[in-house]
């Protein structure tokens, strides 16, 4: 079976399963490989969760016509948030050692102690734990997530475009 000719429902269900698999690997890395997630890693997980929800809803309802873009748009919005977060994370990892920001409080403390806007600013300013590189198959985790955001977005948009063009 050619995955480029799958139906909208099949592509979106496969996208959901891929997101669940990626989130499962993140939890495996955290609990069994000792990879403690930094705040940017947690935001990347949230982006995959958003994508998974829209992939699942698209698979369950399999809308026709323009309604497909509601679910595809949700996937794209989640992916864009993830791409921005992963890109920022990769940028922090490329900084020279003397320019890496100092380690800050963990995300749960920041969410409890500061307003949401200030917490976002602190997270995207970065901290020392976000600059730690733990490669998996030669690439740091944010590079892998960035790759998956791009692949899943292109796949979701291509199936929405293909079905629209065939009508």
For the segment 110-134, what is each residue's pLDDT rounded down to a tens digit? 777 777 777 766 666 666 566 667 7
Please check whether residue 122 lies inside any domain of the structure. yes
What are the angstrom distances between the C-alpha of 110 and each of 39, 114, 119? Answer: 10, 6, 6
Please check whether residue 53 lies inside any domain of the structure. yes
Top pLDDT among 97 and 93 is at 93
Is the pLDDT confidence value at 61 over 80?
yes
Confidence of residue 4 (pLDDT cuts 50, 70, 90): low
Find the CATH number of the domain harbouring 139.
1.20.1550.10
- Domain span including residue 132: 8-166
Among residues 78, 38, 39, 37, the alpha carbon closest in space to that of 56 is found at 78
Please check whether residue 68 lies inside any domain of the structure. yes
Is the pLDDT confidence value at 143 over 70?
yes
Please check whether residue 1 lies inside any domain of the structure. no
CB atoms within 10 A of CB 154: 11
Please check whether residue 112 lies inside any domain of the structure. yes
Q: How many structural domains are present in the chain? A: 1
Please check whether residue 3 lies inside any domain of the structure. no
Indicate if the alpha-carbon torsion angle 52, 54, 57, 58 is positive or negative: negative
């Amino acid at each position: 079976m050619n995955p480029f000719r799958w139906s909208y429902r099949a592509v979106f269900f496969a996208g959901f399963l891929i997101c669940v698999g990626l989130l499962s690997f993140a939890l495996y890395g955290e609990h069994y490989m000792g990879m403690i997630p930094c705040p940017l890693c947690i935001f990347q997980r949230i982006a995959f969760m958003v994508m998974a929800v829209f992939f699942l809803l698209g698979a369950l309802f399999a809308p026709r016509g323009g309604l497909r873009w509601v679910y595809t748009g949700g996937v794209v919005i989640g992916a864009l948030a993830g791409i921005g977060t992963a890109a920022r994370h990769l940028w922090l990892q490329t900084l020279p050692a003397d320019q890496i920001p100092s380690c800050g409080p963990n995300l749960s403390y920041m969410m409890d102690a500061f307003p949401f806007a200030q917490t976002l600013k602190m997270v995207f300013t970065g901290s020392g734990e976000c600059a730690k590189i733990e490669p998996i198959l030669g690439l740091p985790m944010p590079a892998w997530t960035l790759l998956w955001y791009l692949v899943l977005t292109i796949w979701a948009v291509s199936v929405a475009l293909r079905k629209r063009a065939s009508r």
